[in-house]
Amino acid sequence: MANIEQVFKLRPDIINGDTSAAEASTESRQKRIKEFQSVPGFGAIILSPVAVGFGVNIQAANHVIHFTRTWNPAKEDQATDRAYRIGQTRDVYVYYPVGWWENVEACHSVEIAEGDFTRLREDLIGFLEGLERRVGEKASDGHASLRAIRSFLRTTEQRTKRSSEGILHTHFFDGRSSFPDFLRQVAGSGLDGMCLEIISPYFDEGPTSVPLDDLISQFKPREVRVFLPRAHTGEALCSQQIYEWVRRLPDVTWARLPHELLRGGKSEDVRQRTVHAKVYRFFTAQPKREILFVGSVNLTSPAHRPGGNLETGVLVELSPPRRPDWWLMADSSRPREYKPCLENEGNTVSGGTKLSVRFWWNTMAAEVYWDDSSLSPKLSVTAQGVEVFETDVKYRGLTVCSNTLWLPVS
């Protein structure tokens, strides 16, 4: 609202759940909307989709911006329709801002056509078959999606060689081997002596990092830079034991990403985005070579060893247009405080849970499944200390998440 006042020199009215809906009120919802409609020229009004989702008309507006998403398409559509009423004489434009992600993520996409030769074929088919066995009867579509992907992959041809003309083909990591063993098996000695930088939001508690020690022992990198995750207020999100241990390693440096990459918006005082990407980048400037692993593998023991977390990712070699250089900048500023954020994305760390959650992006709806023959207790699901939802579903008079049904989460 302050930005609207500053840029457009007007103070928009706000209508939310506290605004009276009674017509007799001098500050009723309809009277305030009528006042907005009666003012000629440019104007702005801030509305809650819940408060004005039905029963009002706002034909004076022809630009609808959904700044705070409700993630309920029906509610958003109802709010948008307030401008699509009889009497609207202009085109209506609807905006869904998606420019600034809350997290810094990384991914790699591969386009595969029918009949293509690909090194990914057999590993992906095997992984999808294992995933189907793991999920069992919980799939709502009878695993139709997984089977369709497998069916397509079977139209492709498996590459037998790991590389062509000195360039590695893209390989898929399915977690059946340890992470260092996978790298060695795919790249051979090609990673030895290269520079290595690691971006991972999670570490072991300490006193040492076995995964980092294994990578250094295996590939003997020339220099290593490790991303130091920090809270918005500057605390290191690792234990002091790990911080000091890494700091004492020869040719290993704590590092940070450029400020511009972490900014959560254009304002100077905006909070930094949280780094959630997991990237292992090997490179040399002479000769030019750059090999990246991008996936789900944190710098933790459960993520690096077989039988730990369920991890996936891809190893891909790029053709750099110029001599590769460091992404990370050395960070020598010692943290004043430490707030270890241990890996909580895998079941191995926490001991597992019988609760499964799935989210439908097309309908923005979430569902839960209790994978046990006994009734579930009341469960609370939190993310970064904030409660997302509770499973307190009444089904046939019982407080359960059914072991035979997926139940909706409101």
Whole-angstrom Cα distance, residue 333 to residue 262? 18
Mean pLDDT of the chain: 83
Residue 143 identity: H
Same domain for 374 and 302: no
DSSP state of 270: P
pLDDT-based confidence at residue 14 (cuts at 50, 70, 90): confident
Same domain for 211 and 76: no
Whole-angstrom Cα distance, residue 99 to residue 96? 9
Same domain for 194 and 322: yes
Q: Answer yes or no: is 290 within a domain.
A: yes
Tokens coding 58: 């706002």
Whole-angstrom Cα distance, residue 368 to residue 408? 7
Whole-angstrom Cα distance, residue 3 to residue 11? 10
Q: Answer yes or no: is 160 within a domain.
A: no
pLDDT tens digits for 69-120? Answer: 666 677 778 888 888 777 787 777 787 765 556 788 898 888 898 999 999 9
Q: What is the pTM of this model?
A: 0.68
- What pLDDT score was predicted for residue 329? 96
pLDDT tens digits for 326-385? Answer: 999 999 999 999 999 877 543 333 445 677 777 776 676 777 777 777 777 777 777 656
Q: Are 191 and 283 in contact (CB under 8 A)?
A: no
Q: Answer yes or no: is 370 within a domain.
A: yes
Same domain for 338 and 189: yes
Q: Higher model confidence: residue 170 or residue 25?
A: 170
- Compute the chain's Rg from CA coordinates: 26
Whole-angstrom Cα distance, residue 314 to residue 171? 6
Omega before residue 207 within 30° of 0, cis:
yes
Same domain for 233 and 321: yes
Whole-angstrom Cα distance, residue 128 to residue 146? 6
The CATH number covering residue 82 comes to: 3.40.50.300
Tokens coding 394: 């009444």
Cβ partners under 8 Å of residue 385, min gap 6: none
Range of the structural domain that residue 264 is part of: 166-347
- What pLDDT score was predicted for residue 7? 63
Same domain for 370 and 295: no
Q: Which of 158-162, 220-224, 309-313, 347-351 has the lowest mean pLDDT?
A: 347-351
Q: Are 219 and 194 in contact (CB under 8 A)?
A: yes
How many domains is the chain partitioned into structurally? Answer: 3
pLDDT tens digits for 298-322? Answer: 999 999 998 878 899 999 999 888 8
